[in-house]
Structure 1
Amino acid sequence: MRNSPCFICAIVAGDPAHDLEEILYEDDRNLAFLARYPTLPGYVLVSPKAHVEHAVRDLDEDSYLDLMRVVRRVALAVEAVVPSERTYLLSLGSQQGNAHLHWHIAPLPPGTPYERQQYHALMGENGLIPWTRDQAADLAARIRSAL
């Protein structure tokens, strides 16, 4: 992601190369989609459609609150579909890679050993979930239904 064009802008533009990032929610300003490289079942990203890079400086208060309402709404739908003992919500990225502002919704499966929770559960280097187009479509349909 560090050396390629903005993947979120590509999804917003409808680039067919992003077929695993199933769109779950979309309105005039925001977008929610399945993560292409999930470390947990039901991992979702929520972002503004406009390319903004800073959660505090680049959004006015109304835009920020609107985005957070979408994050909450989508997280509740994910929890309705994917068993979870806690749902992590966080914004990651940097000017060096994944600069487009986005929030991670990551449901922690029940019974996950403590040493595999929190940041460990989010790090791709600790393992990704095997993921097919059909699995993504099925999960996306169930989350959309819950929305």
Structure 2
Amino acid sequence: MPNDLATLETQRSKLLEEFLGLHDLRPGSITAVTRRCGKPSCHCAKHNDPGHDPQFRLTRRVSGKTVTESFPNPTALRKAQQEVAEFHRFQKLSEDLVTLNEQICRLRPVEQQRGGWTEQEKKRLLRSIRRWRGK
């Protein structure tokens, strides 16, 4: 059986090792923005002209607000692209880990307690039943 508990736990260990191999990462998306300088005699003022060279920006959310960062040179842009790609890898690994853990939780047997419910659990259960019924 390919999805037995031992196999899934081995897969989880391999996934956790991949997490350790992650490098610098950061969330966001990188977009290219072309701009117009505003000078009437410039080529960018013409109707069909795309504008000046694209400026690359990293946009992300921080505490509910959008934060944008521009890159001063191509080296900084390449570094940011690698970090964003690494963040996407982190997200994929996280999704895979959660899916794997859900499977493990479903397969792992429930440990039975002797005596069933404790007195505290019984009282809590009765209180919630009374509240649910409306007393």
TM-score of the two chains, using structure 1 as the length reference: 0.24
Q: Which has the higher helix share?
A: 2
Rg comparison, structure with higher value: 2
